[in-house]
A and B are shown apart, each in its own frame.
Chain A
Amino acid sequence: MKVAICGVGATGTRLARQLVSSPAVEQVELRDERHDHLAAVVASLGPRARIADVPLDAPTDADVVVLAADAGLHLGAARRFLGAGVAVVSVGDDLGEAQGLLELDAEARERGVPVVVGAGFGPGLTCVLATHAAARFDEVHEIHVAKVGTGGPACARQHHRALARSATDWRGSWVRRPGGSGRELCWFPDPIGGQDCYRAELADPALLVPAFPGVQRVTARVGATRRDRLTARLPMLWPTHPEGGPGAVRVEVRGRRGGASDVVVLGAMDRPAVAAGAVAALAVLWIGDGRIGAGAGGLAGRVDPVDFLTALRSRGVRAAAFQGSAVAEPA
């Protein structure tokens, strides 16, 4: 299998490293406008990686293209690659682009080509965790996603933009809420712990609602500080860390099982770029194996969550469950 990666930032580099170490991948073609950086990455990856000195959306002979570039490039590129019959995996988390990519579903089904939308840490792993948690219920009523941390600088810029824009939640119909509102203290896997999370323009609800017909509420929040909220509508004032820091995702699913209301909380802690690279690499390999069918959509409902989480575990990305008890333990 040949794979092309458009955008070699923190996530794209991790993804490329995962792919060159997979026996099923013969060649990984890397595209990026930063030529020096691209050359350094390719040199570190070994003989299976090669530079493609072409525009990001130029035609390719690859079987799968991964879009890991900045937000704004994914939809146009996906249309071109889909038109050429090439499978597409988008690692982006921009809501507008995710909605546009989902609208390619009819064309993707007609052409028999898979288009995976949001194959990262969140959305991506969050969609798989939601599917895994939902399997424990007879009826799923609510799904609440929260994430904290960013991958590389592109991810940090997207996080900054999202906090300033309106969130689109599902309450039986789409409801827009101001970004930065709805503070909620969310508990993430250790060592992240409790973080204040706020509404933001996130793509998770748009990807989860089609996968869970009948769900009543789907929301997404992102961890932020008061400074983040205050400066969200300004240009980014501080340079971002090139590799991001530790992050986490958390998915809370509410519903009924055995005639009773119940809640299941799953999560994961990792460096977002590392986890996103692993999720995207698995999506690519599963497309190659024919385990992800034609059509455009997120990972929710399209992959077997147990197999996917088990494969992720072997790549070092470990999911966790929150186990609560009704009675506080004695001090």
Chain B
Amino acid sequence: MKTIRRALVAVGLAGLVAAVLRARGTGGTPPTAGGWRELSGPELQ
């Protein structure tokens, strides 16, 4: 019973940390699609 309680607390804490990181994280989602575009105009200023 004690082991199960500890496991539930650990899972709960991990979920809490994950939720905070998910909400406050600033890294964004890595690009999964796209393509190359020639640098010109404002990008060369």
Residue numbers of A with Cβ under 8 A of B are 189-190, 259-263, 266-267, 306, 309-310, 313, 318-329
Residue pair A326, B28 in contact (C-beta under 8 Å):
yes
Name the CB-closest residue of A to B33: A328
A263 to B20 CA separation, bound complex (whole angstroms): 23
Q: For residue B18, give the distance in angstroms from its CB to the closest CB of chain A.
A: 18
One of A321, A328, A329 near B36 (C-beta < 8 A): A321
Residue pair A261, B31 in contact (C-beta under 8 Å):
no
Which chain B residues border A327 with CB–CB below 8 Å?
29, 32-33
One of A189, A260, A325 near B31 (C-beta < 8 A): A325
Name the CB-closest residue of B to A136: B43
Residue pair B36, A190 in contact (C-beta under 8 Å):
yes
Residue pair B26, A259 in contact (C-beta under 8 Å):
yes
Residue pair A309, B28 in contact (C-beta under 8 Å):
no
Known: A190-B36, A324-B33. 7 other contacts (CB 8 A): A260-B27, A261-B26, A318-B38, A321-B39, A323-B37, A326-B29, A328-B32
A327 to B32 CA separation, bound complex (whole angstroms): 6
Residue pair B32, A321 in contact (C-beta under 8 Å):
no
Name the CB-closest residue of B to A329: B33
Which chain B residues border A267 with CB–CB below 8 Å?
36
Which chain B residues border A309 with CB–CB below 8 Å?
39, 44
Which residues of chain B from 6 to 45 have a CB within 8 Å of any chain A CB?
Answer: 26-40, 43-45
Residue pair A323, B35 in contact (C-beta under 8 Å):
yes
Residue pair A324, B38 in contact (C-beta under 8 Å):
no
Given contacts A260-B26, A261-B26, A326-B30, contact A321 B45 (CB under 8 A): no
A323 to B37 CA separation, bound complex (whole angstroms): 7
Number of interface residues of B (CB under 8 A): 18
A325 to B30 CA separation, bound complex (whole angstroms): 8
Which chain A residues border B44 with CB–CB below 8 Å?
306, 309-310, 313
Residue pair B43, A321 in contact (C-beta under 8 Å):
yes
Which chain B residues border A313 with CB–CB below 8 Å?
39-40, 44
Residue pair A324, B39 in contact (C-beta under 8 Å):
no
Residue pair B37, A321 in contact (C-beta under 8 Å):
yes
Residue pair B32, A326 in contact (C-beta under 8 Å):
yes
A327 to B28 CA separation, bound complex (whole angstroms): 12
Which chain A residues border B36 with CB–CB below 8 Å?
189-190, 267, 320-323
Residue pair A322, B34 in contact (C-beta under 8 Å):
yes
Given contacts A306-B44, A320-B37, contact A325 B32 (CB under 8 A): yes
Residue pair A325, B33 in contact (C-beta under 8 Å):
yes
Which chain B residues border A321 with CB–CB below 8 Å?
36-37, 39, 43
Residue pair B45, A306 in contact (C-beta under 8 Å):
yes
Given contacts A306-B44, A313-B44, contact A320 B32 (CB under 8 A): no
7 interchain pairs, CB-CB under 8 A: A260-B28, A306-B44, A310-B44, A321-B36, A321-B43, A322-B34, A328-B33
Q: For residue B45, give the distance in angstroms from its CB to the closest CB of chain A.
A: 6
Which chain A residues border B31 with CB–CB below 8 Å?
322, 324-326
Q: For residue A221, give the distance in angstroms from its CB to the closest CB of chain B.
A: 18
Name the CB-closest residue of B to A308: B44
A319 to B26 CA separation, bound complex (whole angstroms): 28
